[in-house]
A = this chain, B = another copy of it.
């Protein structure tokens, strides 16, 4: 409950270069193994070996497998946010742009379904001990959605809609990953939930100034 814990994590004090490199190697190995076989294929011993780090060290950097995978997700999300920024969505209405952005993200995940599996399963399986990290992922996701809406100063109603969109996004992803929903179904769900954006702000002409 206290502000910051002990000297456990190297992340708390600025990392030396070698530590930064270790951290990168670990995340890379994690993503690589995840890409192969999903959540189960990310075995801590293998991650340690692949990244040329002792098992104990791996656990010093990431206190659990879930922490590691959530950190991997943060990493990938950062990457994706950058990519999405470069090609902003083109829809007229905010709802369309959000749906477009999420479907674009979804297609990216489809290219590495195993990696997606590992990350999303970790995210939803995370318990309280991972809350800060999961929250960070959530904030990042919110930022992406708000970005695509072109909003800098959302109303509480809009924030609620975004929250629900995120819920739907995660859950729809899970149903797809576990083979219980088709890609088409995911699209429908996303498009459906995006209607909420228009509901929370029906009057506003949310089309962007097409530069």
Instruction: Confirm or deny: A193 has a beta carbon within 8 angstroms of a beta carbon on chain B.
Output: yes
Q: Is the CB of A188 within 8 A of B160?
A: yes
**A174: B residues at CB distance < 8 A:** 124
Q: Is the CB of B134 within 8 A of A180?
A: yes
Instruction: Confirm or deny: A167 has a beta carbon within 8 angstroms of a beta carbon on chain B.
Output: yes
Q: Is the CB of B179 within 8 A of A192?
A: no
Instruction: Confirm or deny: A94 has a beta carbon within 8 angstroms of a beta carbon on chain B.
Output: no
Instruction: Confirm or deny: A163 has a beta carbon within 8 angstroms of a beta carbon on chain B.
Output: yes
Instruction: Confirm or deny: A170 has a beta carbon within 8 angstroms of a beta carbon on chain B.
Output: yes
Question: Which A residues lie at the B interface, using CB under 8 A?
Answer: 39, 121, 124-128, 130-131, 134-135, 138, 157, 160-161, 163-164, 166-168, 170-172, 174-175, 178-180, 185, 188-189, 192-193, 195-196, 199-200
